[in-house]
Structures are given as C-alpha cells and as structure tokens.
A and B are shown apart, each in its own frame.
Chain A
Amino acid sequence: AQTVTQSQPEMSVQEAETVTLSCTYDTSENNYYLFWYKQPPSRQMILVIRQEAYKQQNATENRFSVNFQKAAKSFSLKISDSQLGDTAMYFCALPGGGADGLTFGKGTHLIIQP
C-alpha cells in the first residue's frame, strides 16, 4: 500500500524567505505522478505542482519548485520569496486508494509572518 509521510506538522517563516516542505513516500509503482496541493483558509484544495516520476528534471511553477529524489522516495516542495498568501495547509499526495485516486499525507501548516 502507498504511504505518504509529512514530518513537519507546522512551519513558520518570514515573508520573502524561502521555505522547504518535506515529503517522503512509499509505492510499488514504477511510473507515477506526485502532487502538492495547497489548502488556504478558504478550504479549497488547489493543485500547486505535479511531478512525473519518470522525468529526472524537477518540476517548477513560478515560485514553487520540487526536489524529487526517486531513489530516496523524497518529494520536497520549495517556495521562494514567500508571500502572505502562501499561508495554508500543504498536502503531498501520490496515486493510491482505488480508481486512481490519491493518498495524502497528513499535511504541513505553513504560516508566513509579515
């Protein structure tokens, strides 16, 4: 069974700093996708970034990038030049749970301080 571990329940950084959220996982699949979702106080689940496991190049979306280490089964999210609007819960996820659904980590609550 797939498992996703986020070891940082909460993190707090100053605005404009760079922050890295960690995620480790276990899966028996060889070809898969990994995801980071953001959940702001509005409760909406928003896809931040997606990584294809067979691609060696790390995915980047504006200020968001990942450090994907396939052999170590590690998938961390780096947020550069953090902004107040980045305050949210962040969930790491990978395929699992049936019908190509996703298995989620328990989340990291990121707080950006002014």
Chain B
Amino acid sequence: NAGVTQTPKFQVLKTGQSMTLQCAQDMNHNSMYWYRQDPGMGLRLIYYSASEGTTDKGEVPNGYNVSRLNKREFSLRLESAAPSQTSVYFCASSLRGIGTSTRELFFGEGSRLTVL
C-alpha cells in the first residue's frame, strides 16, 4: 500500500536552475495538494487541485507552477530556483465529495530541497 509517493527525497540546486517534484497517489483521491514546511512556519499551501484538470493557487504560490497530469499525479515545478525556496515540500491527497467530508489529508514522505 504505497499511498502518496513523491520524488526525489532530496535535491540540491543552484540559484536559477529548474526542477520538478513528482507526486503520485494510488488511493483514487480527487484532491491533491503541495505544501512547503519551513522552521517555525508550519505547513503552508502552495497549490492545490480539486480534481483532474483543475489547479488553484494557495497561500504561497509565487515562483511555482503545477500540473495535474491525471487523477493520480500532481507535479510541482520550480522554473528558476531561489534560495528562499529552500524548504521541505510535501504532497498530500484527500477524498472529497458528498458523505466524505472528513477532510483527512494523506501525506507523502516529503522532499528536502536546498537552493544554493
């Protein structure tokens, strides 16, 4: 039971480089999310996707783009990485809909990104 899988687990980038964080879930969830975690800041929502084909900005979207490739996959792209994007990134998913309003999020293991 894989749940939510994100890759890579660790990445070091130089300022200005680009990269994509991949996320996939096998729980048939319709909603997916990207959060970033910084010390003393908790988890902050970057982007989310309520369903296949839709994406929306969260609290801290600047410098990021996302793609909901299909129901399973939701990727996060940094086009030109900056040191301020050094963080731990979490992908999460949930099942939304009538009768399923518990809103529990299931998380991947996180990706630690360092931008030099």
Contact = CB atoms under 8 A, between A and B. Distances in A.
A44 B37 CA distance: 12
Contacts of A47: 104
Tell me what chain B mostly uses at the interface: helix, strand, loop, or mixed. strand
Interface in B66-116: 88, 90, 92, 94, 96, 101-105, 107, 109-110, 112
Interface stretch (A55-63, A65-73, A74-82, A97-105): A97-105
B45 A43 contact: no
B102 A97 contact: no
Contacts of A106: 40-42
A35 B92 CA distance: 15
B103 A100 contact: yes
Interface residues of B, number: 29
B42 A101 contact: no
A64 interface: no
Interface string A2-14: 0010000100000
A25 interface: no
B94 A101 contact: yes
B98 to A, nearest CB: 12
Interface string B30-41: 010101000011
Interface of B: 31, 33, 35, 40-45, 48-50, 56, 58-59, 88, 90, 92, 94, 96, 101-105, 107, 109-110, 112
22 contacts: A9-B40, A33-B103, A33-B104, A45-B92, A50-B102, A91-B43, A97-B45, A98-B45, A98-B48, A98-B56, A99-B33, A99-B48, A99-B96, A100-B31, A100-B50, A100-B96, A101-B94, A101-B105, A103-B45, A104-B42, A106-B41, A107-B42
